[in-house]
């Protein structure tokens, strides 16, 4: 198949490109390098079935052309990372809402299968753990900019599902849960690459809040396997899927495990949320996916667990 990946030189997109090419597909990436990096796809440039365009999906003519040439579109281009989102709320909203609008409109004209990336962030402050796809989504006040990201992604989901219902666009929505692995940058706030970098440098490991909040980290290779299976499963069309891992860890325990895995002497320090992010910042205490739906449909099961994930990220950060 000919696959277009928006945001394909980002962390997840570049791993997806690797896997699709290895499976014999043609891959074309469009990325404006706002958070993605050309280094992520540099190794793919010589591949005969790989192509890329450095431009924005806001370029309608170009996006229309690229969608036209594809059989399937993975729409991953988005503003991501809590730090980036809190610092640049206008960019976040415009990029996530308008960018998706452009992709969906052109995919719809040609009825191309489109898989839209969403996020576990949409569950917001819900305490109804594990999170099931049809459960209520609980967001905070509009003065808390973090929720603009969740809201923009919710609108993307509504939009994709609306195109499916009203205009028969074959669309699939997937919600990612703290995807981690090699190539992920800590620049936009993500916790694991930051902890590993701090531990290896002997710098303080910065736990935000009291560290009792927990997350379920998912290895990027497991995410990519799930996405490739959804792509060829017609029954997935018109549905929303969690893709994650149920192994849960508190952020303090994560800091300790990173410290042990690196043999680091770094001190583990706690930083109040309003210093780490913004006054009045709200975090979610737990975030665990219910995987029943994706398990039942494509037999999805994450294979790489947290200790192995940490080991692979440590190796990657050491190498660079």
Q: How many residues at the interface with ligand UDP, by CB under 6 A?
A: 15
Tell me if 31 sits within 8 A of 19, measured CB to CB: no
Measured from the CB atom, the residue of 191 and 231 that comes closer to ligand UDP is 191
Q: Is 178 in the site for ligand UDP (CB under 6 A)?
A: yes
Least separation in angstroms between CB 277 and ligand UDP: 8
190 lines the binding site for ligand UDP (CB under 6 A): yes
Six-digit token string for 165:
């219902």
x/- track of binding to ligand UDP for residues 4-43 (CB under 6 A):
----------------------------------------
Closer residue to ligand UDP (CB): 251 or 304: 251
Contact of 304 with 144, CB cutoff 8 Å: no
Nearer to ligand UDP, 20 or 154 (CB): 154
Nearer to ligand UDP, 135 or 232 (CB): 135
CA 81 – CA 95 distance, rounded (Å): 13
Helical H segments across 117-271, by residue range: 146-167, 191-201, 220-231, 251-262
Please report how close the Cβ of residue 15 comes to ligand UDP at its closest, in angstroms: 17
Q: Does 189 bind ligand UDP (CB under 6 A)?
A: yes
Minimal distance, residue 155 CB to ligand UDP, in Å: 18
> Least separation, in Å, of the C-beta of 72 and ligand UDP?
27
Kindly tell me which residue out of 103, 191, 268, 291 binds ligand UDP, with binding defined by CB under 6 A: 191
Output the smallest distance, CB 11 to ligand UDP, in A.
12
User: How far is it between the farthest Cα atoms of the chain?
Assistant: 58
**What string marks each residue from 258 to 297 as x (binds ligand UDP by CB under 6 A) or -?**
-------------------------x--------------
Distances (CA, A) of 47 to 9, 97, 170, 176, 221: 15, 33, 29, 28, 20
Rounded to whole angstroms, the Cα distance separating 317 from 138 reads 35
Nearer to ligand UDP, 44 or 251 (CB): 251
The answer to whether residues 29 and 9 touch, using CB atoms and an 8 Å cutoff, is yes
Cα–Cα distance list, 114 to 2, 83, 117, 155 (Å): 12, 28, 10, 16
CA distances in angstroms from 26 to 35, 50, 231, listed in the order given: 24, 6, 14
Of 52, 123, 149, 277, which residue is the catalytic one? 149
Chain positions 201 to 230 lying near ligand UDP, rule: CB under 6 A, are 206-209, 213, 215
Binding residue for ligand UDP, selected from 82, 148, 150, 172, defined by CB under 6 A? 82
Q: Does 251 bind ligand UDP (CB under 6 A)?
A: yes
Count of positions (residues) in the chain: 320
The verdict on 153 binding ligand UDP (CB under 6 A) reads no
| In the complex, least distance from residue 151 CB atom to ligand UDP, rounded to whole angstroms | 15
For 45, the token pair is: 């440039």
- DSSP class of residue 134 equals T
Q: CA 168 to CA 98: how far, in whole Å?
A: 21
To ligand UDP, the closest distance from the beta carbon of 231 in angstroms equals 25
Question: CA 226 to CA 154: how far, in whole Å?
Answer: 21
- The burial class, CB within 10 Å (0-12 / 13-18 / 19+), for 275 is exposed
State how far the Cα of 234 lies from the Cα of 269, in Å rounded to an integer.
Answer: 48
| Nearer Cβ to ligand UDP (162/201) | 201
Annotated catalytic, 149? yes
Q: Of 201, 207, 182, 198, nearest to 310 (Cα)?
A: 182
Residues that bind ligand UDP (CB under 6 A): 82, 121, 178, 189-191, 194, 206-209, 213, 215, 251, 283
List active site positions.
149
């Amino acid at each position: 198949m000919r696959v277009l990946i928006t945001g394909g030189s980002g962390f997840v997109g570049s791993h997806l490109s690797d896997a699709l090419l290895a499976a014999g597909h043609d891959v074309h990436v469009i990325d404006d390098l706002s958070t993605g990096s050309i280094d992520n796809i540099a190794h793919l440039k010589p591949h005969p079935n790989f192509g890329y365009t450095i431009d924005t999906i806001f370029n309608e003519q170009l996006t229309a052309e690229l969608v036209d040439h594809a059989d399937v579109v993975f729409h991953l281009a988005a503003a991501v990372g809590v730090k980036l989102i809190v610092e640049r709320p206008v960019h976040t909203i415009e990029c996530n809402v308008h960018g998706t609008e452009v992709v969906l409109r052109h995919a719809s004209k040609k009825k191309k299968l489109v898989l839209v990336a969403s996020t576990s962030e949409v569950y917001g402050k819900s305490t109804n753990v594990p999170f099931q796809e049809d459960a209520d989504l609980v967001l905070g006040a509009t003065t808390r900019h973090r929720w603009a990201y969740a809201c923009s992604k919710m609108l993307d989901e509504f939009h994709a599902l609306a195109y499916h219902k009203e205009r028969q666009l074959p669309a699939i929505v997937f919600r990612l849960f703290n995807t981690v692995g090699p190539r992920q940058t800590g620049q936009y706030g993500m916790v694991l690459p930051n902890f590993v970098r701090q531990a290896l440098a002997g710098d303080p490991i910065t736990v935000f809040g009291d560290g009792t909040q927990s997350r379920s980290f998912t290895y990027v290779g497991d995410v990519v396997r799930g996405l490739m299976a959804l792509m060829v499963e017609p029954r997935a069309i018109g549905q929303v899927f969690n893709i994650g891992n149920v192994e849960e860890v508190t952020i303090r325990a994560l800091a300790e495990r990173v410290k042990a895995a690196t043999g680091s002497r770094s001190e583990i320090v706690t930083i109040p949320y309003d210093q780490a992010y913004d006054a009045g910042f709200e975090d979610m205490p737990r975030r665990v996916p219910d995987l029943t739906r994706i398990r039942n449909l494509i037999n999805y099961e994450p294979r790489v667990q947290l200790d192995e994930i940490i080991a692979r990220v440590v190796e990657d950060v050491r190498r660079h």
